[in-house]
Amino acid sequence: MKKIIIYLIPLALVAIVAITLVSNKKTSQERVYIYDKEQTVSVFAMKVSEGQLDNQRGFSGVIEPIRESKISAEVQGKVTRVAVELGQVVSANQLLLQQDVALLQLQLKATEVQKGGLEADLKRYQILVENEAIQGIQLEKTELALAGLEVQIATLKEQIAKSSIRAPFGGIVTAKMTEAGDFAAPGKPLVQVTDISRVKLTVQIPENDLNYFQSGSTQLVTITSLSKEIAAKVTLVGSRGSIGNSFPVELTFENTADLAVKAGMFGEITVNAELDTKGIVLPASALVGSELQPQVYVIQDGKAKLQAVEISRRVGDQLLLKSGIKPGDVVITGGLVNVFEGANVEPNFSPER
């Protein structure tokens, strides 16, 4: 009897495990969602008719100053005075900061004293050489030493002059990154001066619209926040495009008398296209895949059918088609997530269409 029990227990355990696995598999299968390909998919659609693309092209960018400089010291030293405040208007060569020059002035004074002694020695040696009392080599050494001191004096004077940090051009102090007592060193920004008397607007222009921006031509820039239109000159048309095939175009213009246009403001340019933009117009949302192999879904007999099309132009979210769709066709424009070739679809037409 004990032997029978020993054999029955493992068999019972195996049976329990098997029943559990079968039950779990059945439960998992019941929980898996199986999409019904025969069900009707609700989509947004439009009945195609001939139309016209918006002839206006709008481009926007950020206003930037023509000249802006973060000024640092050319020699290292302690800042003893900051002569300007944030937002202050400064002129070219105006003093911005003063560094400590006490040690440099002492070195200059000591060097000038040495120079005076050598000049006196030089006069004596010249007299002695003329009378052949000494050899000329002593006179030559003195002349060389005097020349070396003159170089040191000139170097010290240049360092003292550069310790007075001045504005390289007129503008506005837009950043102050130091205070009196701070240590200044070459490469460490101390003050930022921005000249906004003349500013520039940089916009990214698609390849197909570059012909509207010729170097030297004039465009009207709209400053949205100021409700102003200012004539700007195209000063740069980029020679290298971005990954998205857009090119930088730079337009410069004089600021208003009260410098109302600030760096960082948004500017807009609107150009009018002169090309023929009449034909079949679809929203870009109808496009399936990429513009290299463009396709759209049309509805025929209640089913979705994938149709290849040829795009003539694209402006913003609108497509002008050259072929593939004719007036009267019904094209799916939204709700494409569950749409496939041959799917049953129910179109919802927008009121404006």
Mean pLDDT of 325-350: 86
How high is the mean pLDDT of the chain?
A: 84
What does the alpha-carbon distance between residue 120 and residue 118 come to, in Å, rounded to a whole number?
A: 5
Residue 275: what pLDDT?
58
**341 has pLDDT over 90:** no
Q: Which residue has the higher pLDDT, 297 or 121?
A: 297
Mean pLDDT of 321-337: 86
Which range among 124-128, 202-206, 215-219, 297-301 shows the weakest confidence by mean pLDDT?
A: 124-128
**31 has pLDDT over 80:** no
* 228-270 tens-digit pLDDT: 899 999 999 988 888 877 899 999 999 988 899 999 999 999 8
* 39-97 tens-digit pLDDT: 888 888 888 888 776 667 788 999 999 999 999 999 999 999 999 999 999 999 999 99
- Give the alpha-carbon dihedral of 322, 323, 324, 326, to 10 degrees: 90
φ/ψ of 236, rounded to 5, equals: -155, 130
What does the alpha-carbon distance between residue 313 and residue 290 come to, in Å, rounded to a whole number?
A: 14
* 166-225 tens-digit pLDDT: 999 999 999 999 999 999 999 899 999 999 999 999 999 888 788 888 889 999 999 988
Taking each helix axis from N to C terminus, what angle separates 102-130 and 136-162, rounded to the nearest 10 degrees? 160
Residue 200: what pLDDT?
94
What does the alpha-carbon distance between residue 317 and residue 208 come to, in Å, rounded to a whole number?
A: 15
Residue 353: what pLDDT?
42
> How much of the chain exceeds pLDDT 90, in percent?
35
